[in-house]
Amino acid sequence: MTGPPGMLSHIREVMGTCLHCGMCLPECPTYDITNDERSSPRGRIRLLRSVMDGTLDPGGDFAGEMNFCLDCRACETACPAGVRYGELVEHARTIITERKLEPVGIRIKKYIVLRLVFGSKKRFGFFTRIARFYRRSGLREAVERSGLLGLFPAAFGRLVMSVPDVADRDFSPDGAVPPAAGGSAGKVGLLTGCIMNAAFPGVHEDTVRLLERCGEGVVIPAGQFCCGSLHGHNGDPVRARRLAAALMKLFPDDLDAVIVNSAGCGSFMKHYGELFRDDPSMVGYAGRFAEKVTDVTEFIARRNPRPADPRGDARVTYHDACHLLHGQGVSAQPRTLLRSVPGARFVELPESTRCCGSAGIYNILRPADSDELLRRKIGNILSTGAEIVATANPGCHLQIERGLRAAGSGITVCHPVTLLSRGVGAGGGR
Ligand code: SF4
Ligand code: SF4
């Protein structure tokens, strides 16, 4: 069976905590789509147990169901027994990836995204430059309008359409930002990461501005790249560990916190200790690093910074990124912060806790299922009458933006820190 012995016994232990009560089923978006037990958390746990016991072939149904799962972890929030389901599905994906059990189309997409684009900082930079040219030159609109993509296999067309709307520039850190005059609250590090750096440099600037307003000195280590979450969530823990180790090395030991403004990254980095469970030379260090990881909304809510200058007013709603809500248990803080923005009239989003279908690279791997979830999300957003929807994860941001554009809506999507930093007249925050 795939994985070191420590990992295998840990997975069996986690599976053993399931009481088979079924309380997770109503919260599971994929069970909602199929009404089939195999597409539910409880069903998937049974499938994994059968594969590990050697009574079920891991190809076919097993591989399909594990990739159909969004890894949204809504089941974890619903579970009375505290089953850490995310660890189970990620282990299952490691089995199917290592044994090459997925359809060839999925393997090709994973190879392109995880190995080519997010495989190294240099290659990521190269693809970012292409994406910028694609966006700036007007090629994107021309390709979308022309219908040319219809001449290619659907999977290729979808891949081209998934090129993220990157910003015109990277975030350019100075290395360190000293605390504002009179401020001496402490010293924190900022994760700049990969996609946040390329697509949302403005969100990093807003984050730094808010941290400064809280009196924090901000260390922004140069040379940062991906935290490994995309790889860890999609069956490649080896590459995830390599990326995590390289990233941790860049941060000095004397920080009070490592601030993250991307929910998927933060959720993964808070479990760096578990990622290195079978490596005695790293487990303690990674665990100490993980304890410092804090989502920006968690951190700022504790500090209560001076609000942004009032600039107009707008109805604002909030979409819970799965890996902030279910992965980190952060729900009240972003709402409290958004309610504090001058001019913001906060309105709850129906089904705000339901996945938007982005789910890391799910929207690339399973576009039809992803679109079904997105349509529902967009319908809910439109029903609020909001002018702004805030969300704290780049995947959700890009997915919802794409859905709103397709629906012909002018609603702005932005990170909560952008509203806090610049007020409701901020625009999208790139
Ligand atoms: S995962 Fe939790 S909620 Fe779901 S069946 Fe098992 S114990 Fe019940
Ligand atoms: S992670 Fe999400 S999609 Fe997967 S089983 Fe849990 S609730 Fe369902």
- The CA-atom distances, in angstroms, between 192 and each of 17, 171, 304, 414 are 36, 8, 23, 17
Going by alpha carbons, the residue nearest to atom 8 of ligand 2 is 28
CATH class of 306-422: alpha beta
pLDDT-derived band at 3 (thresholds 50, 70, 90) equals: low
Mean pLDDT is lowest, of 138-142, 265-269, 418-422, for 138-142
- Ligand 2 atom nearest to CA at 74: 7
CB 193 within 8 A of CB 226: yes
Decide if pLDDT at 72 tops 90: yes
Q: pLDDT at position 150, please? A: 61
Residues 426 and 372: their CA atoms lie apart, in Å, by 30
Q: Choose the CATH number for 176-301 among 3.40.50, 3.40.640, 3.30.390, 3.20.14.
A: 3.40.50
Ligand 2 binding pocket mutation candidate from 28, 45, 47 (most atoms within 8 A of CB): 28
Report CA 189 to chain centroid distance, whole Å.
Answer: 19
218: which 2 tokens?
């901000």
Q: pLDDT at position 26, please? A: 96
Positive/negative CA dihedral, 161, 244, 233, 352:
negative
- Averaged pLDDT for residues 20-48: 96
Decide if pLDDT at 275 tops 70: yes
β-bridge partners, 389:
317, 413
pLDDT-derived band at 173 (thresholds 50, 70, 90) equals: low
Cβ of residue 30 lying under 6 Å from some atom of ligand 2? yes
Residues 44 and 88: their CA atoms lie apart, in Å, by 9
Cβ of residue 92 lying under 6 Å from some atom of ligand 2? no
Q: pLDDT at position 59, please? A: 81
Q: pLDDT at position 268, please? A: 97
Homologous superfamily, domain 5-98: Alpha-helical ferredoxin (1.10.1060.10)
In the chain, domain spans: 5-98, 104-161, 176-301, 306-422
Alpha helices in 181-223 (DSSP H): 195-199, 201-213
Decide if pLDDT at 181 tops 50: no
Crossing angle for the helix pair 61-68 and 85-98, nearest 10 degrees?
130
Query: Same topology for domains 176-301 and 306-422, yes or no?
Result: yes
Q: pLDDT at position 90, please? A: 94
Decide if pLDDT at 310 tops 70: no
- The pTM of the full predicted model, rounded to 2 decimals, is 0.91
Q: pLDDT at position 157, please? A: 61
Cβ of residue 79 lying under 6 Å from some atom of ligand 2? no
pLDDT-derived band at 153 (thresholds 50, 70, 90) equals: low
> pLDDT higher for 135 or 181?
135
Is 107 in a helix, a strand, or coil? Answer: helix
Residues 209 and 215: their CA atoms lie apart, in Å, by 10
